[in-house]
Structure 1
């Protein structure tokens, strides 16, 4: 049983899926772009995790960056499956369970990114405005616990998006991985359409406030307080990590704002209204822009932190040196084996040549009365 409140969404999705035949070139470009984003994003975030996790001294800043990179890696790891969905003509062929897992990973990244950026902003604010407290209590263990709470909260907020995700077949044969708000219905009498509308609006606004507006408000208030505190002290601003956080925050806002705007428009616009149809068409593109945030963050880490860039270059150089060292060692081993084989052959051949020489010497000695000093063979001459 599917809740036909999704008819509003289905109307836009029907329109989108029916347009695929006339947008072949655009689809191919989008699919290629998704493939490029996923490849670059996975490589970037794995590299950031490897370098920051194993070659950077553990600190509060490195803990923040590690958790952001882990969240971004989850999102970019899901992107190839979204690319496959588009490549197969906007139809989901990976089953209901993986549909829910894939969607949950997308929303988990959304919540973790928002919560982490808000926490990092508050951390910067405390360092500037409460330096004594920060010196005494701000440490790796505390930040690690905060990150654990952030992940737990993000998982909790992601659960409804996992529960109400489902697959169903459209009249044109395409399989959608979309919301089904008719799951887990109450026992008492109820209006199905009204209940589904309530659930749809609740999830849309919960996502808007918890993953975007509230974190954004915390970020703005925190950095306003930081700037005011620095101005009063006459301190220099901004410093390196502040530049990094500002760049990450700007990327977060620009990448996620379109998605949330179109979600709210789709939920609030009347059924069949042009605004709702436009929002339905724009949602896949805005989701792609949201994924792009996970690709941009590692680039921002590198360009905002020259030390991190040096460590990445050093890591890549070390990897190449190890590969070349292994190749050179293999080549040396082969050459050594070849030399050993040649030496063994020479050792085997030399006694035979020496024996032939001695036989000739013996024959010549009998003639001229001179016996050459040949090993072993000379002793047997009568």
Structure 2
């Protein structure tokens, strides 16, 4: 029976490490169903985003859509690891794809995680930029600036993920091949991943979104007039969308890196009792990352429906719909009262 797999097999499935930290529950049938669900839902949805933005309307991409396109690509990088994982499970928990694909699956994990974190931060910074410098962001910024920024972020993610190509190794254990990370614990690599892949993106993401939320809050009149209640409701919907993105980021990323930190602590202090729990937590938290990657396109559509439709009647008929309406700051104060007038900056990002 394969109702409970040894921890080394679960570790190799997740590409965590080659160390034995104990046993965790790892039912084969449930894992196959989960991975198949992620694959069937996530790949078509993200592929549809790439097709719609990258192929169908590539001549009309604005900055926000460029970021969404790249986020969908980053999610696809993570989700395309799933067929290899399913192959490992179906092949009686033995790695059947050879050494090259073993190196590839480890590299794709790092690339997808880094790229997603960097691009989410870029979207958050884009919101702040369009809010604080709307004229420059909309009219004066070169059209190639955002695609170039995305390209540089992908290059940086690839550079930071390159060391994992060296760490991946195909090992034979109990007549089965396991794709694992070999070698001793690398403190430098762990610190780099934690700071560059988690702490800095977390600070940038939360700080940028808080700036946007506070600015929107100041823009909504405290005492609505006959023409402003609907505007206040629209701003409230904006709060909900931004809060949802922050909540998803925290829910899907914080547990993963916290468990990695606990595993590193367990490695440095042998004999601690929480190592098995930390390994199980990291195992579960990685599923949250896959859920985020699979369902991100739904959040994109929800954002478009919430923010686009209620604001569309403010847009001239010859302009494209916008995702956010940003209020210009005049003489250091936000417009009050009848603030949806001609002094509004309609910006797409």
Cα distance in structure 1, aligned partners of 2:34 and 2:95? 19
Q: What secondary structure sits across from 1:15 in the alignment?
A: coil
Aligned to 2:34: 33
Correspondence for 1:222: 208
Larger fraction in helix: 1
Matched, 1:94 2:97: yes
Give the alignment's TM-score, normalised by structure 1.
0.66
Say if 2:260 is the partner of 1:260.
no
Say which is worse superposed, 226-235 or 201-210, in terms of deviation: 226-235
Q: 1:139 to 1:307 in 2, by over 3 A?
A: farther
Structure 2 residues not aligned, in runs of 5+:
1-14, 222-231, 310-349
* Displacement after TM superposition at 1:140 (Å): 3.5
- Asked whether the 8 Å contact 2:119–2:150 carries over to 1, the reply is yes
Instruction: Tell me how far apart the structure 1 counterparts of residues 140 and 237 of structure 2 sit (CA, whole Å).
Output: 23
Cα distance in structure 2, aligned partners of 1:123 and 1:110: 20
Please give the residue correspondences for 1:343-382 in structure 2 after superposition, counting only pairs within 5 Å: none
1:15 aligns with 2:14: no
1:273 is paired with a residue of what secondary structure?
Answer: coil
Structure 1 residues 163, 278: CA separation in 2 closer, same or farther (over 3 Å shift)?
A: same
Give, in whole Å, the separation in 2 of the partners of 1:90 and 1:288.
19
**Count of matched residue pairs:** 280
TM-score by length of 2: 0.72
Matched, 1:202 2:210: no
2: CA distance, partners of 1:158 / 1:88: 27
Report the counterpart of residue 151 of structure 2 in structure 1: 148
C-alpha RMSD of matched pairs (Å): 2.9
Whether the 8 Å CA contact 2:213–2:239 is kept in 1: the answer is no
| Structure 1, unaligned runs of 5 or more | 1-5, 182-195, 311-382
More strand by share: 2
**Structure 1 residues 241 and 70, CA gap change in structure 2 (3 angstroms):** farther
Asked if 2 retains the 8 angstrom alpha-carbon contact of 1:240 and 1:305, the reply is: no
Sort the Cα spacing of 1:256 and 1:97 in 2 relative to 1 into closer, same or farther, 3 A. Answer: same
Query: Once the 2 structures are TM-superposed, how far is the Cα of residue 36 of structure 1 from its aligned partner?
Result: 1.3
d(CA) in 1 for partners of 2:280 and 2:243? 31
Q: Which has the larger radius of gyration?
A: 1
Correspondence 1:150-229 to 2 at 5 A: 150-170=153-173, 172-181=174-183, 196-197=184-185, 199=186, 201-229=187-215
Confirm or deny that 1:43 pairs with 2:52. no
The farther-off stretch of 279-288 and 228-237 is 228-237
| Aligned counterparts of 2:52 and 2:83: Cα–Cα separation in 1 | 24
Residue 247 of structure 2: aligned partner: 250
Q: Structure 1 residues 252, 284: CA separation in 2 closer, same or farther (over 3 Å shift)?
A: same
Report the more deviating stretch, 211-220 or 48-57.
48-57
CA–CA separation in structure 2 for the residues paired with 1:307 and 1:234:
17
Summarize deviations over 1:190-232 as a string: whole Å, max 9, x none. Answer: xxxxxx33x2x22223222211221111011112222333344
